[in-house]
Amino acid sequence: MSALRYLVSALRLLALGSLLFGAAAQAQNTAYVSDEVFIVLHAGPGTNFRWIAKLNPGTALTPTGTAEDGDWTEVSTQAGTTGWVQSEFLSQEKPAQVLLPEVQRRLATLEERNAELRVELDAASQARENNAELASTTQAELQATAEELAALKKTSSRAIQLDTDNRRLVEDVETLRSEVDMLKADNQRLSEKLRSGAFLDGALAVLLGVGITLVVPRLWPRRRSSSSWA
């Protein structure tokens, strides 16, 4: 708030300075009736000339000439009326009657601008608070996103490792299946060999038995019957 008051004071000083600067800039072309009393506009440079108009304090005049003694100045009013006034009642600076309304209008403008600046300041303060809140929320969301990303990376790494292990296990299973198939084939061949060997052994045993049955009785001589010797 102190900054706002400082700004308002600075604007007021600037306004007064601009008014004074404007008055100084126009001093060469404009003169004003002093703020003490009204004066008379004469038709010539002297009080013995007829009156043309009565000029109120603060009336703006344009000097167009000066009498030889410098006591009288020829002037022209804003309405275009030309005449002479006593030089001592003219001022190069705006009197209070002219300056005060201008300052008041300028101050009213500054007060209005002050109100606008106050609204803008309040809006800026609110926006700053909103931005701070938004920044805090964004930071929290960023942190949550970073944590989620880290978790996803960890899960992804595990999934890749599991996939690799699964592929390796599949390869191992296929290898074991091939080995089992080979063992089954070897077992089949051995079984067939064993069956063939047993058949041959059985056949040999039968032949051997038949041979013994035929040969052994011939190895012993027959006994003669007792009746033949009678």
What is the DSSP annotation of 85-102?
Answer: EEGGGEESS--HHHHHHH
CA 214 – CA 216 distance, rounded (Å):
6
Read off the tokens for 95.
Answer: 């009197």
46-96: pLDDT as tens digits? 999 999 999 988 888 899 999 988 899 999 998 899 999 999 888 887 776
Q: Per-residue confidence at 35, pLDDT binned at 50, 70, 90?
A: low
Q: Per-residue confidence at 219, pLDDT binned at 50, 70, 90?
A: low
Q: Is 93:27 a contact under the CB 8 Å cutoff? A: yes
Domain-embedded: residue 223? no
Domain-embedded: residue 113? no
Alpha-carbon dihedral 19, 22, 23, 26, rounded to 10 degrees: -160
Domain-embedded: residue 39? yes
State the CATH number of the domain containing residue 56.
2.30.30.40
What domain range is 6 assigned to?
2-94
Read off the tokens for 102.
Answer: 């201008």
Domain-embedded: residue 124? no
116-173: pLDDT as tens digits? 888 888 888 888 888 888 888 888 888 888 888 888 888 877 778 877 887 887 788 7
Q: Is 42:50 a contact under the CB 8 Å cutoff? A: yes
pTM here is 0.35
Q: What is the tally of structural domains in the chain?
A: 1
Burial of 96 (0-12, 13-18, 19+ CB in 10 A): exposed
